A and B are shown apart, each in its own frame.
Chain A
Amino acid sequence: MSKERLPLTLITGFLGSGKTTLLAKLLRDPLLGDAVVLVNELGEVPLDHHLLREVDEKTVILDSGCVCCTIRTDLVDELRDLEVRVHRGELPAFRRVVVETTGLADPVPVLATLLQDPMLSAHYMADGVVTCVDAVNAPLQAERQPEWTKQVVVADRIVLTKTDLAEADGAAAEALIRARNPVAEIITGVSGDVPAGRLIGLGVLAEERRAEQVTAWLDAVNHGHGHAHEHDHDHHAGVHAIALRFDEPLDWTMFALWLAMLLQSRGDDVLRVKGLLDTGADGPLVLHGVQHVIHPPTHLAAWPDEDRTSRIVLIVRGIGRAEVEASLRAFDGLAKGAVAA
């Protein structure tokens, strides 16, 4: 692709979690001076930016009814319109996009839209998902709101808000977050005061950062970062991390078949997938997925460290480690033993 894709930052978080307050502060930073900002509604918090657009969360649900396949047509239409107006000279060129979702939004369709829409996939790349979590209401929302869990699971950075309030329990909120997302950096952001550089320009899908992202996940899960171990998960949500390691190279064709099958049958309970796979090539294959949205896997030229075993992390709900490992070993064994390469 000749043209460099523009980074798109997604800011999400449950109702009242402080998304707009955070955005209002971020917009004062020069880092966002050449950004287009798409918000779902102009609320009580004033937003001051020359390229601020209000969009309705218009969605098209495809025939399968899969929420992840929901295409955010509002984003497609708005970004296409902006590109046209820039080409006409009616607007200055922009170098970055920030999208703020509604508090009840599922962020996955935005990521799916970026991959599935031909124009958007050619021009934009997800830079990172920033999720605001209200430290006061996190326990209640974690228990009762599936949207909260989804927003936390897909986050690359979490801004913990309202920690200055007397009734806030930051440690409890962090534990709830860690049970669902072992690796996202948690940043305390009272009144939205977070340096823009810690949230913008993350480049989570950039080729050069993919291995680093995966190894960070593997380290976090293997070292029991927070409450990510299976035995230590939050039983209300049943969400936990599974870390798998395979000493022998994996048969990629069978692995992909297995994963496609798993996503079809248990897709709602497979929240994230990351992995470095030894498929017999010189470098590993990097796997990155959010629910049904699997990014095209890429081969690295070399391994990022001395460890050359296949390592996979899945964030799942109600699925046990033993059943995943037994299944994957059976499928891989079938590929190696029964079907000639």
Chain B
Amino acid sequence: MCSLCGTLGAAAHWSEGGGDRTQVGARREVLRERIRRVALLNRVLAPSRMHVDEWEETAYILRGPTGQSVLCGDLAAVFAEVQRLRGAPLDPLDPALVEALSA
């Protein structure tokens, strides 16, 4: 899937297809992975004072630093909205972000 055009209701984003689905209880594994993804997202977004919550196993709610909230269908949509709210993309190669996450 294109990483920039994730929209609610679209086909599953590629990022949600790589977990280990070989074990019994695949749905539970999907949910567990979503919850963990949200936890990781919140660590990455913390320096930008943004927060994500899981929503009904189908979307994420992104909350901006001034309280705005927006529903995002997948990771691509989350980072597109992060860019919109910040006015600039959040770059994983930014040395300041890398240092903040390494601390």
A253 adjacent to B20 (CB under 8 Å): no
Q: How far is the CA of A108 from the CA of B100 in the complex (A)?
A: 35
Give the Cβ gap from B95 to chain A, nearest Cβ, in Å.
Answer: 8
- With A69-B2, A330-B102 in contact, do A261 and B18 touch (Cβ < 8 Å)? no
Q: Report chain A residues within 8 Å CB of B33.
A: 253
Whether the pair B14, A69 counts as a contact (CB closer than 8 A) is no
Is residue A46 contacting chain B, with contact meaning CB distance below 8 A?
Answer: no
Contacts of B102 in A (CB 8 A): 330, 333-334
A31 at the interface (CB under 8 A from B): no
Cβ–Cβ < 8 Å partners of A172 in chain B: none
Answer whether A297 and B14 are a contact pair too, CB < 8 Å, given A260-B3, A264-B89, A265-B91.
yes
With both chains docked as a complex, state the minimum distance between the C-beta of B32 and any C-beta of chain A, in angstroms: 9
- Flag A149-167 by CB within 8 Å of B: 1 or 0 each: 0000000000000000000
Distance between Cα atoms of A254 and B42 in the complex (Å):
12
Given the known interface contacts A64-B4, A299-B20, A339-B43, the answer about A334 and B83 at a Cβ–Cβ threshold of 8 Å is no
The interface on chain B, measured as residues whose beta carbon lies within 8 A of the other chain's beta carbons, has a size of 41
**Bound CA–CA A69/B102 (angstroms):** 34
* Contacting residues, chain A, for B12 (C-beta < 8 A): 296
Q: How large is the interface on A (under 10, 10 to 19, 20 to 34, 35 or more residues)?
A: 35 or more
Asked if A256 and B18 sit within 8 Å, CB to CB, the answer is yes
- In whole angstroms, how far apart are the Cα atoms of A255 and B89 in the complex? 18
* Known contacts A64-B4, A253-B33, A292-B2: A334-B79 contact under CB 8 Å: no
**Quick one: CB contact mask for A312-341 with B, threshold 8 Å, 1 for yes?**
000000010001101100110111001101
A260 to B78: give the CA distance in the assembly, Å: 9
Chain A contact residues: helix, strand, loop or mixed: helix
Evaluate contact between B17 and A296: CB separation under 8 angstroms. yes
Q: Which positions 171-189 of chain A face chain B at CB distance < 8 Å?
A: none
- When C-beta atoms are compared, the residue in chain A nearest to B88 turns out to be A265
Are A323 and B3 interface neighbours, CB within 8 A?
Answer: no
Is B31 interfacial (CB-CB < 8 Å)?
Answer: no
Q: Verify A261–B44 contact, CB threshold 8 A.
A: yes
* Minimal beta-carbon separation of A304 from chain B (angstroms): 18
A129 within 8 A of B: no
What residues of chain B lie closer than 8 Å to A323, measured between beta carbons? 93, 95
Distance between A336 CB and nearest chain B CB, rounded to angstroms: 11
Contact of B98 among A121, A252, A327 (CB under 8 A): A327
Proximity string of chain B (2-21) to chain A, C-beta cutoff 8 Å, 1 when within and 0 when not: 11110000011111111111
Query: Roughly how many angstroms separate A66 CA and B79 CA in the complex, as a whole number?
Result: 14
CB closest chain-A residue, reference B78: A260
Task: Mark A248-276 against chain B: 1 for CB-CB distance below 8 A, else 0.
Answer: 00001110111111111111000000000
B18 touching A264, Cβ below 8 Å: no
Of A6-14, A17-25, A97-105, A277-285, the stretch lying at the interface with chain B is: A277-285
Q: 21 A-B contacts, Cβ less than 8 Å apart?
A: A66-B5, A69-B5, A115-B2, A253-B36, A254-B40, A256-B37, A257-B40, A257-B44, A259-B3, A260-B3, A263-B4, A263-B76, A265-B90, A266-B93, A289-B14, A292-B3, A296-B14, A319-B93, A334-B43, A334-B102, A339-B40
Sorted nearest first, the 9 A-B pairs with minimum C-beta distance are A265-B89, A256-B15, A263-B3, A264-B79, A69-B5, A66-B4, A260-B75, A265-B91, A294-B14
